[in-house]
């Protein structure tokens, strides 16, 4: 019997640890509006009991095994962080897959770099975002150093009403083939307001009357709403956020991080 228990113990250790991590991740990712009254931790406990019974463990055997697993996790708590990181990446990948081709399909004209590049960088941006402003130079250096990158800009005005005004004018700029010029002019100028938006549009060489009309159009408004919906679907709430392949980079991550993500995406292709 002792030999059988020794043989089964490693399997039970693995099952117990896996179910414990599953309980933690289920708590983090469990839908908050679920109609189920059964807690994820309780479900994991039930599964652990079933596994122990199937392996022929009695209550004392299970208690000893759980104590070993608990002690190991307490001594090596970093495995929880590592496991959650893996689970979060898997969840993000699922959400990116669910977003599908619409994620990398730009509003006509709201892209720059190489339109046929082998790697697409999607940036969600807000013209009131200081971190977005500080990232402009990094993105420019990236495409200057790599001629095979396509950049898609998704306007997500989430910070203020003036963010929305600037985003709608950016789409008007895209409609006129001047998105990059307007994008750079907005970020090199002051915070968005009626005056700075028009100044950026003039600097970009836009037809102001046509831009003002398009900024009020259903097409422009629908695009902004679609971008915000994509942002919520993928599962982030701040700008800038960069999506490169299956990677989500949040914040002003810097040039080196962007280059590393591009290299990883290219290698995975």
Task: Walk along the chain (269 residues) in steps of 10 and give the mean pLDDT of each run.
Answer: 46 55 53 47 63 71 77 82 74 73 91 96 97 97 97 96 97 98 95 96 98 98 95 88 92 97 93
- Is the separation of the CB atoms in 119 and 147 below 8 Å? no
CA-CA distance, 210 to 160, in Å (whole number)?
24
Give the pLDDT score at 140. 97
Model pLDDT, residue 94: 75
Q: How far is CA 194 from each of CA 126, 197, 217, rounded to the nearest angstrom? A: 16, 5, 18
> To which residue do tokens 């995406």 refer?
265
Give me the phi and psi of 106, to 5 degrees please: -80, 160
pTM (predicted TM-score): 0.71
Position 23 scores a pLDDT of: 55
Q: Is the dihedral of CA 7, 12, 14, 15 positive or negative?
A: positive
Concatenating the DSSP letter of every residue in 197-217 gives HHHHHHHTT--HHHHHHHHTS
pLDDT the model gives residue 136: 97
Alpha helices, H only, the chain: 2-29, 40-54, 59-75, 78-99, 130-145, 161-175, 179-188, 194-203, 208-215, 218-234, 255-268
């Amino acid at each position: 019997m002792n030999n059988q228990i020794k043989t089964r113990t490693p399997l039970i250790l693995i099952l117990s640890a896996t179910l414990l991590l599953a309980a933690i991740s289920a708590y983090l990712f469990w839908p908050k509006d679920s109609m189920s009254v059964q807690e994820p931790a309780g479900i994991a406990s039930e599964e652990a009991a079933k596994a122990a019974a199937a392996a022929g463990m009695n209550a004392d055997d299970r208690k000893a095994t759980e104590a070993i697993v608990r002690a190991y996790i307490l001594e090596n708590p970093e495995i929880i962080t590592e496991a959650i990181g893996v689970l979060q990446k898997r969840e993000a990948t699922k959400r990116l897959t669910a977003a599908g081709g619409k994620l990398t399909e730009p509003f006509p004209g709201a892209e720059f770099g190489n339109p046929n590049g082998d790697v697409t960088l999607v940036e969600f941006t807000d013209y009131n975002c200081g971190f977005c402003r500080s990232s402009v130079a990094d993105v420019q250096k990236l495409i200057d150093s790599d001629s095979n990158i396509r950049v898609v800009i998704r306007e997500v005005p989430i910070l203020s009403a003036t963010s929305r005004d600037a985003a709608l004018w950016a789409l008007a700029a895209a409609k006129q083939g001047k998105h990059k010029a307007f994008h750079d002019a907005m970020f090199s100028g002051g915070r968005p307001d009626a005056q700075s938006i028009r100044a950026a549009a003039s600097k970009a060489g836009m037809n102001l009357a046509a831009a003002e009309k398009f900024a009020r159009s259903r097409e422009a408004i629908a695009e902004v709403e679609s971008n915000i919906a994509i942002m919520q679907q993928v599962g982030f709430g701040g700008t800038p956020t960069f999506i490169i392949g299956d990677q989500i980079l949040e914040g002003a991550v810097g040039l080196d991080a962007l280059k590393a993500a591009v290299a990883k995406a290219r290698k995975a292709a």
